[in-house]
A and B are shown apart, each in its own frame.
Chain A
């Protein structure tokens, strides 16, 4: 596969390490009352769609960016690649 890195252009997927569902960006509050339940859902449950999937890849053999790749899990077609930091900010994560 080829991943179109937003900063570096097309790179072979072999340069990357895969983590999984981009929802891992949405880490719950660890100090909340129901944190065990929230973290269970966050860490263990997956939508695992057959179709478009937003997922985290790390450019370990490159610039060490974490990317959010939107990829079809049936055809492997990649439709979008973003910096994870940008996505995280869009989702309201900051400090």
Chain B
């Protein structure tokens, strides 16, 4: 069933009785060509592109709980391609291009809102780093603009320019960046994948891998064993737990990242704004809530909830940067478990177990990568070879030293 305004009008007349399930809940079959573990954004996108771009349709997506219940449904919905390093920027720019056509590709409005991502700087050193990054973006064919204080003031006159502890000196702006409706991304990919014949199985937890002569030949699940020649894991936040079932130790730690939303407000914040002298970034949702966040709590956690010090730290940053939000009220706070990797960059690679593949390590930035991650992981699962744009997201890079460390923080996950 194709979605359109016409279709809505038709259904309105018929009392909306004609809508059908957005995706089909499948009962797992005994065998598939490919099993994708994880019914979140990356897993569903992988399944969709496996069928759409690589012609592999005997695919199951296994989700432990409810579809889209992981980080795709818990993030602050930012999309952008403002990366510095060669290993990252082309990948994220590819992702942003996919975002730009996503709603039509999926016939599902993901409400991609390209209202700009503005990273503020407060010192000469930060400016130099942004100049380097902005130039890298331009050399890779992305868009970037450097603003001075006046340029920032024009865009966001409500920022604290008067009595700031760390005055705003300017910002790096990517106008094509912005936000998307996070849940809709999961649902849109699920619908697309389901329409291409892929089985989406909810409430099906993988409890083990079936190995034969060192090769992965399927999975054990709470709904019985399922065979497959290729198994891909896309369960960021829990990658270590899952791969531990195959006896692997990963260069990852699981951390909790909190996010916050205020009560609905009339439009007041354009695009996404990030504070460069504290932990705070914010955007305003289509519904009017200010969606904001800051740093991870900083300790290993699988709890999907955080603690007060970080809540206070984030709000302090918010008030320091935009004191007009003082009387906005925080409505809800929540946490997501993220895979913090050892250099702050993701992993899309084979594992030492044949037939078992990993997509993880997205730190706190996996949402924006969803389309490209799905595409590149599908490429890897379908062909056995890394996609050129994800060619450096290798597990082995820590041994060779081919690190992808945007922030230069080294092997300490909670600093990335």
User: Bound pair: A and B?
Assistant: yes
B240–A44 touching, CB < 8 Å: no
If the complex has contacts A37-B399, A50-B241, A73-B254, are A44 and B411 also in contact, measured as CB distance less than 8 A? Answer: yes
A50–B411 touching, CB < 8 Å: no
Task: Check B299 for interface membership: any CB of A closer than 8 A.
Answer: yes
If the complex has contacts A13-B309, A46-B251, are A76 and B303 also in contact, measured as CB distance less than 8 A? Answer: yes
CB-CB nearest in chain A for B312: A14
Interface of A (DSSP majority class): mixed
A14–B250 touching, CB < 8 Å: no
A20–B302 touching, CB < 8 Å: no
B254–A48 touching, CB < 8 Å: yes
Contacts of B413 in A (CB 8 A): 20
Q: How many A-B residue pairs have CB under 8 A?
A: 68
Contacts of A12 in B (CB 8 A): 309
**Which residues of B, 293-319, contact A by the 8 Å Cβ criterion?**
298-303, 307, 309
Task: Check B342 for interface membership: any CB of A closer than 8 A.
Answer: yes
**Which residues of B, 210-238, contact A by the 8 Å Cβ criterion?**
238
B249–A47 touching, CB < 8 Å: yes
CB-CB nearest in chain A for B243: A48
Contacts of B302 in A (CB 8 A): 50, 73-74
Give Cα A46–Cα B251 distance, bound, in whole angstroms: 6
Task: Check A8 for interface membership: any CB of B closer than 8 A.
Answer: no
What is the interface residue range for chain A against chain B? 20 to 34
Give the shortest distance, in Å, between A88 (CB) and chain B (any CB).
Answer: 19
B contact residues, total (Cβ < 8 Å): 25
Contacts of A87 in B (CB 8 A): none
Give Cα A55–Cα B254 distance, bound, in whole angstroms: 13
Task: Check B158 for interface membership: any CB of A closer than 8 A.
Answer: no
Give the shortest distance, in Å, between A2 (CB) and chain B (any CB).
Answer: 10
B253–A46 touching, CB < 8 Å: yes
Task: Check B173 for interface membership: any CB of A closer than 8 A.
Answer: no
A48–B303 touching, CB < 8 Å: no
Contacts of B414 in A (CB 8 A): 18, 20
Give Cα A95–Cα B82 distance, bound, in whole angstroms: 46
A45–B241 touching, CB < 8 Å: no
Q: List 17 A-B contacts (CB under 8 A).
A: A1-B307, A12-B309, A18-B414, A20-B300, A20-B412, A20-B413, A44-B251, A45-B251, A46-B250, A46-B253, A48-B240, A48-B241, A50-B241, A50-B302, A53-B300, A74-B302, A76-B303
Given contacts A40-B399, A46-B253, 13 further A-B contacts (CB under 8 A): A1-B299, A18-B299, A20-B414, A45-B249, A45-B250, A47-B249, A48-B240, A48-B241, A48-B250, A49-B241, A53-B300, A55-B300, A74-B303
